[in-house]
Copies of this chain bind each other. A is one copy, B any other.
Amino acid sequence: MRALNVTAMKKLEIIVEGEQQGFVVDLLDRAGAGGYTILHNLSGKGTHGVHMGHLMFNDDSVLVMIVTAVSVDLVAPILEGLTPFFNKHMGVVFTSDIQVSRLVKMPSE
């Protein structure tokens, strides 16, 4: 039986309007993220940005949260890749530290 591998990674939680899901998923694929999970049909409101009163979402938006676990060195490229997108569309990214446990084939297999 193979063992679970535990790896320190970064979790990105990318919240965007549902119709923008495809762009984000493509960006993650191109950036080399190993996968993602999508939470659908979220609602939300972002009336005021922390510093500048930036309107993000209104109550009627149908949002998705795209969750991915990536190595630390992928965080900056993904955020840079999202910057032009966020200049046109609403959204926010949460980054946090996680340990990821998944099954890993042993080299001898």
Contacts and interface: CB of A to CB of B under 8 A. Distances in A.
Given A9-B50, A79-B101, A92-B101, 10 more contacts: A29-B47, A34-B47, A37-B44, A38-B44, A39-B65, A49-B102, A50-B100, A51-B104, A54-B104, A93-B100
A1 to B, nearest CB: 5
B37 A40 contact: no
Given A11-B94, A98-B96, A103-B86, A35 B51 contact: no
B54 A103 contact: yes
B99 A5 contact: no
List the number of copies, as a whole number: 3
Interface of A: 1-7, 9, 11, 15, 25, 29, 34-52, 54, 56-57, 63, 65, 69, 71, 79, 82-84, 86-87, 91-105
B79 A4 contact: yes
Contacts of A102: 49-50, 54, 56, 86, 91-93
Contacts of A38: 42-44
B40 A36 contact: no
